[in-house]
Amino acid sequence: MYFMLIEMNILWISVMMKIRLISLPYIYTSMYFFVKPS
């Protein structure tokens, strides 16, 4: 049970890191377009 919890935690962390890596360029481009007009 405890080992399974650790495995799930590692999986969740990897998924979150992937989401962050995917969303990072989008965040930067949106910030760039937000700052650009002013």
- Give this prediction's pTM: 0.49
- Domains of the chain by residue range: 1-38
1-38 pLDDT, tens digit per residue, is: 677 888 989 999 999 999 999 998 888 888 888 887 65
Cβ burial, residue 22 (10 Å; 0-12/13-18/19+): exposed
Give residue 19's pLDDT. Answer: 92
Q: How far is CA 15 from CA 8, 20, 32, in A?
A: 10, 9, 26
